[in-house]
Structure 1
Amino acid sequence: MASLEEAYSYEYDDIIDAELAYDLYWAGVISGKSSFECPSEFCVAKVTCVNMDAEKQDMQQSPHFRSYNHSSECDASIGKKPKVSAGSKYELSASKVAKSDQESDTFNLHRPLNQFTKKKKGERDKGKKRAIHSRRPNVQGEHELQSGSNYYAVRSLVTKFIRYKKDEMLSEHYVNISGKDISYRELFKGVFNQPLEALPKEERIYWGVAYINHIPDKNTYRIVFKNEMQQGSNYIRPSFFISEEQIEAYPVNNLVTKRLAKISESKDKRAFIFLYSKPHGQGPNFINFDLDSLDYLEIRYLDLFDELKKPTKLAIQQR
């Protein structure tokens, strides 16, 4: 079995990573978990996108590609030594690597135009396949720098945050946002009694338990955090709104509507909320967040409480 960071999608007619495949599936652009092929121009191995059809909340692993029977000429699978000649700039990467490091993940604040446009049915463009030069190891001295992941939605960062939190490695992993690196520890801010003036001026991913209420006459959902923030001498529970119009316009709205409806109709009405934004005072009695894109929001059920309590094998080994 070989590991791939990217695969060629028959339905989308392009080379994509597993996270984009996940979004395209939930947006209804692609539908087949096994409608992928090795991206190398030297290989036609069939590829499956594992967990493409599962909700993030229910995953043991993030979406990823699984493939078998690559050709001997394939240069795409991770961990396979690339074909190099003497004097090549890749010569060192084909030799024994002493240490492996991780590059920062990237959180893109805006998606490319027409990313969710369905491709016309017809013969595939074989010219889209190419040699995988971009996936060759980036070697500096004896260090092989493994490429970070490229994300367009907070939900993918939340999955990484949960993993690193359980591994007790939030400070060791970074995200690049608009050209600046920030650790997962600094990026994620729990909502808990902070004075507004003490919080960063830049956006962060604020998270915590919140109540979700549907307001039918205003076609809106109101989300109110359980814990407070401080504005002056007042302690206020911060909140934000999601309009049904905003939900309808979101290409991956299946991921949002199901949870909003289920939680708002429940007796408890609580969920874990993760929101990329920054809080601001709205008069003396309100603290609000702005939700600029539903890509900036992730909703998780309360069983995340139990998940966060479970240390990983790595965390246990490091203690």
Structure 2
Amino acid sequence: MPDGHVSIEEAFTAGHDERITAERAYELHWADLLDRDARFTCVGSGCSAPLICACLDKPEQNLRIRPYFRSYRLEDHADTCEVAHGRGESKAEKRPDVFEAERPADHFRAPAATPRADAVASPAQRAVASASAVSRPRASHYYRLSSLVQKFLEHRRDKDLDEATVEIGGETQTYEALFRNVYRQKVADLLGTRAVWWGTASLRATKEGGYYLRFSRPFRHDDAELRPTITLTAKEIDAYPVRRLLRARLDKLIAESDGYCVVFVWAKPWMPKDAEKPFVRFYVNNLDHIDVRGPEILEELRNTSRVASP
């Protein structure tokens, strides 16, 4: 591109060569561990082009807004940089994305403040290592459901939901099978089914500082229609490393769309066994496993299958 806006997924943190994804940079920023004006360098062979992370401070994400690295000018990249120039590319091996149920213990740490002894090498000195790292097929690892929803939207756009796969919960599934709309599905048959359940919902803040969500459309249960609910407590949110991002998104939805939203949750539907009046809840034990988005994505979701093809 003449303006240099090549979308780049990985970069080195400026000054000490720690390789980082745009998604991780985004999370570190919202965990107050990375400045908004943080600078990065290209991972390409023999390249030291300066990069920035676009959309780093945007709480919302959709097909047009997502974190990615970019350079100021295409000519900032070295002639040997395969990231910018695409030389020597072969057809990428398709590998499943990987969704990790838990983060590594050291995931939320700031990038090293001082350069490692081996990290100050010139671009030419690190060329061999960079080239092998760039060309080797790499599975994408995600920890927030929001990242997986982003991939789901991209695969829906690309019409390959039934081909693209993700490793999640010890299984490999297609995105089509994993993402399921709650609407009028028979909940009694699905109590053991952990999936990414989604649908429109209403959102409100609670007096205790948490949030309450109620799906707009129901599951079926005998002759009844049951709209599932989710409660996010203030205690859970305060313990969440990316709480600033979560609250920014939810408060913005309440302010701008009166709480009307689209919610995604990786969980199993739950019903009490002996309740006088049946109801359905989703329990979210890890706030990485829920994603709440604005109603503008409904158009992107409109043609998505509610249930995976048999």
| Shared fold per TM-score greater than 0.5 | yes
User: Does structure 1 residue 150 correspond to structure 2 residue 125?
Assistant: no
Give 2:288's aligned amino acid. Answer: D
* Alignment partners' CA distance in 2, 1:277 and 1:78: 42
Distance in 1, Cα, partners of 2:257 & 2:52: 39
Is 1:18 the counterpart of 2:18 in the alignment? no
Query: Which residue of structure 1 aligns with residue 55 of structure 2?
Result: 51
Q: Does 1:181 align with 2:172?
A: yes
- Write the distance in 2 (CA, Å) between the matches of 1:120 and 1:36: 13
* Inter-CA distance 120–161: structure 2 relative to 1 (3 Å threshold): closer
Q: Distance in 1 between matches of 2:45 and 2:248?
A: 40
Q: Which residue of 1 aligns with 2:264?
A: 274
**Mapped pair 1:251 → 2:241:** yes
Aligned to 1:171: 162
CA RMSD for the aligned pairs? Answer: 3.0
- Fraction of identical pairs, as percent: 29
Instruction: Give the superposition deviation at 1:211.
Output: 1.2
Deviation at 1:151, TM superposition (A): 1.1
Other-structure match for 1:107: 99
In the TM superposition, what is the alpha-carbon distance from 1:190 to its structure 2 partner?
0.6
Q: Quick one: which of 215, 232, 243 aligns to 1:242? A: 232
TM-score (norm 2): 0.80
| Structure 1 pair 4–245 and aligned structure 2 pair: CA distance change class (3 A) | same
Question: What pairs with 1:24-173 in structure 2 (closer than 5 Å)?
Answer: 24-33=28-37, 35-39=39-43, 42-57=46-61, 60-67=64-71, 68=74, 69-72=76-79, 79-81=86-88, 97=90, 99-119=91-111, 121=113, 123-125=114-116, 127-128=118-119, 131-132=129-130, 133-138=132-137, 147-173=138-164
Partner Cα distance (1:275, 1:298) in 2:
6
Q: Distance in 1 between matches of 2:81 and 2:282?
A: 48
Contact map agreement 1:42 1:71 (CA 8 A) in 2? yes
Cα offset for 1:75?
Answer: 6.6
2:57 counterpart SS class: coil
Q: How far apart, in 1, do the equivalents of 2:211 and 2:31 lie?
A: 21
CA drift at 1:106: 1.2
1:137-190 CA distance string (max 9 Å, x none) = 45xxxxxxxx44221111111112122223332112111114421111111111
**Aligned equivalents of 1:226 and 1:289: distance in 2?**
14
**Superposition deviation, residue 201 in structure 1:** 2.8
Cα distance in structure 2, aligned partners of 1:136 and 1:200: 43
Q: Measure how far apart 1:10 and its partner are.
A: 3.2
Q: AA paired with 1:165?
A: R
Of residues 275, 278, 291, the one that matches 1:285 is 278
- In 2: Cα distance, 1:32 partner to 1:223 partner: 31
Q: CA deviation at 1:113?
A: 1.1
Task: Provide structure 1 residue ranges, at least 5 long, that are not aligned to the other structure.
Answer: 82-93, 139-146, 312-319
The whole-number CA distance in structure 1 between the counterparts of 2:206 and 2:280 is 19
Are 2:7 and 1:8 equivalent residues in the alignment?
Answer: no
1:44 is displaced (CA, Å) by 2.3
Determine whether 1:220 maps to 2:210: yes
Distance 1:172 1:221, change over 3 A: same
Q: Is the 8 A contact 2:203 2:214 kept in 1?
A: yes
Asked if structure 2 preserves the Cα contact closer than 8 Å seen for 1:279 and 1:289, the reply is: yes
The separation in 2 between residues aligned to 1:64 and 1:267, in whole angstroms, is 27
Give, in whole Å, the separation in 2 of the partners of 1:257 and 1:15.
28
Aligned residues: 286
Does the 8 Å contact 1:11/1:119 carry over to 2?
no
The answer to which structure, 1 or 2, has the higher relative contact order (CA under 8 A, 6+ apart) is: 2
Between the aligned partners of 1:38 and 1:126, the Cα distance in structure 2 is: 19
* 1:300–1:61 CA distance, 2 compared to 1 (3 A): closer
1:241-300 CA-to-partner distances (Å, cap 9, x unmatched) read: 101111111111222112323444578432111111111102342111110111111111
TM-score by length of 1: 0.78
Aligned 8 A contact 1:12 1:30 in 2: no
Letter in 2 for 1:254: R
Distance 1:12 1:285 in 2: 57
Superposed CA deviations along residues 62-106 of structure 1, whole A, max 9, x for unmatched, are 32222343335557668333xxxxxxxxxxxx7xx4x54532111
Kept in 1: contact 2:63–2:154 (CA 8 A): no
User: Could you say what secondary structure the match of 2:247 adopts?
Assistant: helix
- Could you tell me how far 1:61 is from its partner in structure 2? 4.9
Call closer, same or farther: CA 1:201–1:36 in 2, change over 3 Å. same
